[in-house]
Amino acid sequence: MLAAAAEWAETHRTSAALDPVAARGGNRAIAMLNRLRTTAIAALAATTIAMGSASARADTPAAIATAAAQQAGAQGVFPGAAWSTPAISGQPSGWSADKLKRADDYADSLRSDAYLVVHRGVLVHAYGDIRRPMNLASVRKSVLSVLYGMHVSSGAIDLDQSLASLGITDKGGLSDVEQTATVRQLLQSRSGVYHEAAYETPAAKKRRPERGSHAPGTFWYYNNWDFNTLATIFQRRTGKDVFEALKTELAEPLQFEDFRYPQDTKFEYERSSEHPAYLMFLSARDLARIGLLVSRDGQWKGRQMVPSAWLRESTTSYSAVSGGSGYGYMWWLPFVAFAQWRLPGNQLVLADGSGGQFMLIDRARDIVLVHRVDNSRLWFKRNAVDLGQFAELAARVIAAAPGK
């Protein structure tokens, strides 16, 4: 398992492959399928609203009591102003304390700053300082994917609009071919626009393909230009920037405990590009609330905040990446690195950020595992925690889980 994890960690950001669906069906079929997907998400959102209106008319005491009981059963446990824990609830978690201690010992050896485990909405284990906001690094992209789902369903964002139709360009301009890239292709990191980007690492700059070397939609490359430009598109189409949306559409309804707006946000500008990176600083326990929202198919305390169809679509793999992983809409599908967690389809999803920022979501068992490293101190304190090391920690954690 560790050998596979190490290989995945070394190659998952650098290797690319053609979309197998596109290879079989052609661009026209893909475009039609994409339009159908977007239409389905909007229809599901409308149906949810209509059902909510109909249920509101069933206002007899018996109907209200029945609906409340059904809703409570379907919802499961959600955190309020604070997370529920076994100590608070008085209910044993069923997790092995001895095996979690082994996971803690391994985290000690990695010099992790924090990690936590949420199971069925209960914070069953915490290590280190889970309250301190830290830079999410590239985990920010998965957070933006969640925000996109809210606004695609409302019709504010059309995934099949091109950069040209949106008036998106960059310093020095984009070619006519580059301007045909769609919002969907940016979400998939398949735009074919290899312009310089803000917040690129030196290694990423060396790996960046030549401009014009691949047409939009034909090649996967982990591209900060795509991710940063998506924030610009989001602001133009919704009228609010990513950080305002983070505050009003996630932090407030999910009741983040540690997030401070605007102190815990930062746009990172560089001369090379018009599109800044959007840095987010969240604590482990606040990030885990977003993970739980995804684990629960976008539902939070009876409210469908993100369409479940969007979460299925965004956590579907559209690119086969060397090393055995897949890539969706700014989410990783880690098919190999987490052998003990292997699940069918998109039931196991990963948000991955430089330096040791990870969020693994097991949607089948309703488990969220968050790991954090204070990357503001990386150069003074330690080497980064890599994916293979996180996979080993995750293996120790799942070994401690209850049998059922």
In the predicted model, residues of the chain with pLDDT beneath 70 are 1-75, 342, 344-345, 377-383, 404
Report if residue 330 sits inside a domain: yes
Please return the burial class of 79, using the count of CB atoms within 10 Å of its CB with bins 0-12, 13-18 and 19+: buried
CATH number at residue 104: 3.40.710.10
Q: Which domain does 390 fall in, by range?
A: 2-399
pLDDT of residue 107: 98
Report if residue 111 sits inside a domain: yes
Asked if 162 and 343 touch (Cβ cutoff 8 Å), the reply is no
pLDDT of residue 326: 93
Report if residue 312 sits inside a domain: yes
- Report how far apart, in Å, the C-alpha atoms of 353 and of each of 8, 154, 309 are: 15, 29, 25
3-state secondary structure of 385: coil
pLDDT of residue 262: 98
d(CA 268, CA 199): 7
| pTM, entire model | 0.83
Report if residue 8 sits inside a domain: yes
Asked if 258 and 282 touch (Cβ cutoff 8 Å), the reply is yes
Which pLDDT tens digit goes with each residue over 281-318?
A: 999 999 999 999 999 999 999 999 999 999 999 999 99
Which pLDDT tens digit goes with each residue over 335-364?
A: 777 877 767 668 999 999 999 999 999 999
Report if residue 366 sits inside a domain: yes
pLDDT of residue 13: 41
Helices (H), 139-222: 139-153, 163-166, 183-187, 202-207
Report if residue 404 sits inside a domain: no
Contacts of 248 (CB under 8 A, 6+ apart): 240
The number of distinct structural domains making up the chain is 1
- Report how far apart, in Å, the C-alpha atoms of 203 and of each of 13, 14, 199, 207, 305 are: 10, 10, 12, 6, 37
Report if residue 242 sits inside a domain: yes
Residue with tokens 């401009």, as numbered in its chain: 211
d(CA 72, CA 65): 11
Contacts of 154 (CB under 8 A, 6+ apart): 45
